[in-house]
A and B are shown apart, each in its own frame.
Chain A
Amino acid sequence: MTSSAWSLRARIRPEKRKILFACSGLFLLNLGLFYSQMTSGPFQADPWDVLLATLGLGDETSTFIVLDLRLPRVLLAMFIGVSFALSGAIVQAICRNPLASPGTLGINAGASFGAVVLLVVFPDIPLAFLPAAAFGGGVFAAVCTYSLGWTGSSSSTRLVLAGVGVGVLFSALISIVMVFGKLQLISQATLWISGSIYGAKWSDVAVIALSSAVLIPLSFLSVTMLDVMAMGRAVSIGLGSAVERDRVLLLLLAVTLSSTCVAVSGPIGFVGLMSPHIARMIAGSNHRNILPIAALTGAAIVQAADLLGRTVFAPTEIPVGIFTAAVGAPFLIYLLVKR
């Protein structure tokens, strides 16, 4: 008994070390990206100035640039990356399908639809309700996809096909809403829909930080549920979990995570698809390890995409969503070919 327990621990140990190693590596990567985001740009600030300004001790120009322009943007990028990645990891566990993600299930398109309806059709409603509208749209799309594509116990490729269809449907609906609206409102919505964190404000950061403060701990609390879910319906029931209830709760969690992001930044594709895959390559199948690595990976992807978007074609800003799509779509092709 003792000897088998010992050998088990010996087997786990190098795994643990690997996870810790990966986590700290990703953390350092994020830190490096954070540093280059804060220091690079048309206004060349040396690290010392940036540090001083962050602490509120710099001169007026650098304080404005660092505190009002760069810091909210970097924080927003991080939060968005984390949320999309967690949402993707949860969705992939529920669907037991590596191709599932907030994007392929139509959730992002639904959330965008909700937000565009609010922006264009009801311009009088304050923007504070934008997350709620996006959430409503996201839930609606998820329900559509779920009811069209769910086959019960069997494999869930149908779910992905239904999700693609629902996504296209909502995109068409968005275009129709755009025809309704006034020109000024439409150009605002168009800017937003391309998935950009250009012009991030502290109020945006506040929205996503508040929701993250609730949602991220919730996600980490649900790791056991996710592990059980990933084993399939029959095993989950055998293990005594209320599968249907858990699935709905987890789906709600995933939808909330991605809709909040969509409300703030517009749909940024493929982060929720790529991050969990990279995490699984590193961490195996235990969600206790997958979630933190996926979250760090997501944050790094969005930060890197934003950094590229700011610098490659400077002074023109390229929306983050373009770079994540440029990396993410080939990744999807790779997944398709490999399977």
Chain B
Amino acid sequence: MMSNTEYATNENLHEPPSQQIIFLFMSAFAIAALFFSSLAYGIVPLNTAGVLDAFLAFDGSREHLIIIDTRLPRAVLAVIVGAALGAAGAIMQALARNPVAAPELLGVNHGAALFVAGGSFMLSAATAQQFVLLAMAGAGVAAAFSYFISLLGPNTTSSTKLVLAGAAVTSICAALIQLILILHDQTLDEMRFWLAGSLIGRDIAILGSVAPTLVAGGLLSIVIGPKLNVFASGDITAQSLGLNILTVRIAAVSAVVLLAGSAVALAGPIAFIGLAAPHMVRHLAGADYRWIILLSASTGAALLLFADLAARFVVPGQEIPVGIMTALIGIPFFLAQVRKGTLS
């Protein structure tokens, strides 16, 4: 319950948002810089000045092909996936009134992976479109399940309960995935790539099939901001202020599922952006959820770009999956939250 104070301070809601605007510009600048570095630096060393040429004067050389065909889609994906995960994390934390309620901790990634594996095993789904739908359904089911478990029984706002419910759902999904992979070699072959959680070699065409849900999730998260400001003041206060709690809950859950589900469908399991991004912006963004969601999205994009860039250089000559990199960046935030002692 102590953690609620962080969400319920509404006194500076109507101050001029200069701090937030500065933060927004800073993160936009960071995204631009990281985006450029993401194009310019990688395993294959390229001429930095040539990056602009690739766009302005494309000549079909190897360098230009690498930039346009490999690095550009990767950077674009990083921005989209990072923003979606950041926004989803911010909404989820507002919904659960719990600073550790990141989509990843609720088993979204493993749920999506389970549905994709099960789909390719039992329904022999193969097209990217089917994978996207399955991933989204799995993400939604897993998140809803974890959240629902944490609402059962006494002490419904306990962080420990939420995190452990997510851990339990995750291990069930992981066990079932392993079972499917053991029973069905072909699935293992198809899934290995998807399960790695990376931005490399993803078919940019998938973006087209995810775009509707992504846009819907984005719009929903814009609309829901003001409602969440009221929601943050607690169920009873919000209700007496005329807010329909149930509608807000359903809208928020749908937004999270649409955003996180699209992200998983695009890039596979990417961990902890949804936890770290809202955590990073909390002190600067104030209490207005419109700003928190927007800034979490921009920070999430910058974080994922950074993680993707770092993943190319941590192990010399080899890339590590970006999902692992984001876990390494994100877990310290979780542990810091634990250390601070505001969780119950």
Do the beta carbons of A99 and B160 come within 8 Å of each other?
yes
- Is the pair A161, B153 in contact by a Cβ cutoff of 8 Å? no
- In the complex, per-residue mask of A324-339: 1 if CB is within 8 Å of any chain B CB, else 0: 0110111011001111
Chain A 190-210 residues near chain B, CB threshold 8 A:
194
Q: What residues of chain A lie closer than 8 Å to B315, measured between beta carbons? A: 176, 179-180
Cα distance A321–B174 when bound, in Å? 11
Number of interface residues of B (CB under 8 A): 43
Which segment, of A22-30, A115-123, A311-319, faces chain B?
Answer: A311-319
Interface-centre pick from A321, A323, A329 (highest chain B CB count, 10 A):
A329
Asked if A149 and B338 make an inter-chain contact with CB atoms under 8 angstroms apart, the answer reads yes
CB closest chain-A residue, reference B184: A316
Q: Does A165 contact B (CB under 8 A)?
A: yes
Distance of A337 Cα from B341 Cα, bound (Å): 23
With a CB–CB cut-off of 8 A, which chain B residues contact A325? Answer: 171-172, 174-175
Which residues from 262 to 284 on chain A have a C-beta closer than 8 Å to any C-beta of chain B?
269-270
Chain-B contact segment, one of A12-20, A75-83, A167-175: A167-175
Q: Does B229 contact A (CB under 8 A)?
A: no
Contact A165 B335 (CB under 8 A): yes
Q: How far is the CA of A330 from the CA of B158 in the complex (A)?
A: 19
Contact yes or no, B154 A169, CB < 8 A: no
A99–B168 Cα distance when bound, in Å, is: 12
A180 to B318, CA, bound (A): 8
Residues of A within 8 A of B100 (CB): 161
In the complex, the answer to whether A169 meets B159 with C-beta atoms within 8 Å is: no
Interface residues on A, range: 35 or more
The answer to whether B164 touches A104 (Cβ under 8 A) is yes
Q: Which of B89-109 contact A (CB under 8 A)?
A: 100
Interface contact A194-B328, CB-CB below 8 Å: no
Asked if B153 contacts A339 (CB within 8 A), the reply is yes
Query: Would you give the shortest CB distance from B215 to chain A, in whole angstroms?
Result: 32
Q: List residues of chain A with CB within 8 A of the CB of B165.
A: 333, 336
Q: How far does the alpha carbon of A104 sit from the alpha carbon of B158 in the complex, in Å?
A: 17
Known contacts A151-B341, A175-B321, A336-B153, A165 near B172 by CB under 8 Å: no
Extra 8 A-B pairs, beta carbons < 8 Å, given A179-B318, A179-B320, A333-B168 = A148-B339, A160-B164, A169-B328, A270-B171, A318-B182, A322-B178, A325-B172, A326-B175
A-B contact pairs, 20 of them (CB 8 A): A148-B338, A157-B158, A161-B163, A165-B334, A165-B335, A165-B338, A168-B331, A172-B328, A172-B331, A175-B321, A179-B318, A313-B182, A318-B179, A319-B178, A322-B178, A326-B172, A326-B175, A329-B169, A337-B149, A339-B155
